[in-house]
Amino acid sequence: AATERGIIVTNTPGAMTECTADLAFALILATARHIVAADVYMRAGQFTGWELFQPHLGVELAGKTLGIVGMGRIGTAVARRAALGFKMNVLYTANSPKLEAEKELGAELVSFPDLLRQSDFITVHTPLTPQTRHLFTLNEFRQMKPSVIFINTARGPVVKEADLVQALEQGLIAGAGLDVYEAEPKAHSGLAPLPQVVMLPHIGSATTETRRRMAIMAAQNVVNVLGGQGPINPINL
């Protein structure tokens, strides 16, 4: 509609790469170590002293395999954190090999079914398209390890949320960290009662640095167009 009316539409690509990668990793850590449940436990006054088998026993990241679905800017930023910062093995799916990431990070391109079967953590960084809508259903969750932790900071409808709830309730997967939902602003009612789920209100870009970059890029696009120059980031030209 905008194109038909001669209206230029722009966006702010790359502005939220690092902050979204940070948040994805925050969710990985929070779910792996039961951070939110442990915080609630402490605030409720239930902590009575150190125990060998504590109720919030988690898992380490080093040596584990992270499966990245969608190896664009954000997926690559997550891979860099995983491989270099946490000594994780990285598998990924993409339309084409990411040779730089493979060389720098030891990342390995695999098929989607292989990624589902081999990963200890799975994080989603794919755009929402007709092909990726409901990419994750009960069928996909059944192919994962029962110990897997599933992270989605991409787009909510990539996951069939009712199936995710069922997979968690049945123990098909161990946990989930979510920043996006299928029918935002609402989340499936079955998610909130599950202690193995960390839920955030779509805060992937919510840092002062990111919002500043977004504002500057948007303003520069406006200045360029008003000044007779082409926009920096057009999406309909």
Joined together, the tokens standing for residue 136 give 């994750």
Tell me the C-alpha distance between 124 and 67, whole Å: 9
Is 108 among the catalytic positions?
Answer: no
- Which of 56, 80, 117, 202 is the catalytic position? 202
Is 188 among the catalytic positions?
Answer: no
Indicate the DSSP class of residue 90.
E
CB 138 within 8 A of CB 170: no
- Which of 155, 161, 182, 213 is the catalytic position? 155
Is 155 among the catalytic positions?
Answer: yes
Tell me the C-alpha distance between 14 and 227, whole Å: 24
- Which of 100, 184, 209, 212 is the catalytic position? 184
Nearest to 160 by CA among 132, 131, 182, 186: 182
**180 half-sphere exposure, CB direction, 13 A CA radius:** 23
Residues tagged active-site: 155, 184, 202
